[in-house]
Copies of this chain bind each other. A is one copy, B any other.
Amino acid sequence: MPAFGFQPHDHADCIRTTLAQADAYCAQHKLKLTPIRRRALEILLAEHRALGAYDLLAVLAEDGLGTAPPVAYRALDFLTSAGFAHKIEGLNAYIACAHFGADHSPAFLICTSCKSVAEAETTATQGRLGEAARAAGFTISRTVVEALGLCPQCQEAPCA
């Protein structure tokens, strides 16, 4: 599955499908996608961009779903634990998962100009990082892989 988010696509469908998948996944795994959690996911899905916890909170507050920081952080904890969202460490921000369901090691391509983010797959224990880890006798449990740079659109139109 290629990196997603920079190519134009039917994004309304993108949102609809993911929410439906999340509903199904939660039903199957006895997780509760409560109104706050579901709306938080929907907000993250609105754009292929990362949102700060307080940005998310501001939108939840507009909807009357809570005003205090724990509201946002609890929703984000749930979504990230369930694999519905990821934290972008380099931005202290959160984004909906684009490779739903799979237990995966995400890698992000982050455009420093337009702030859009695409999620690609990596294999944690393969590749050069895996090699380095094996050579050092290190056991990987989680990886953070993020690339900062320019997306195709912003390379062509730097001032956009």
Contacts and interface: CB of A to CB of B under 8 A. Distances in A.
A122 to B, nearest CB: 5
A143 B108 CA distance: 10
B143 A138 contact: no
Interface of A: 2-3, 6, 89-90, 107, 109, 111-112, 118, 120-124, 126-129, 132-133, 135-152, 155
Contacts of A145: 129, 143-146
A112 B143 CA distance: 12
Given A89-B144, A122-B129, A139-B149, 13 more contacts: A2-B132, A2-B135, A6-B138, A90-B144, A111-B138, A120-B129, A122-B132, A133-B149, A136-B151, A138-B152, A139-B155, A141-B148, A142-B149
Among the interface residues A127, A133, A147, which one has the most CB atoms of the partner chain B within 10 A?
Answer: A147
Given A138-B147, A142-B148, A123 B128 contact: yes
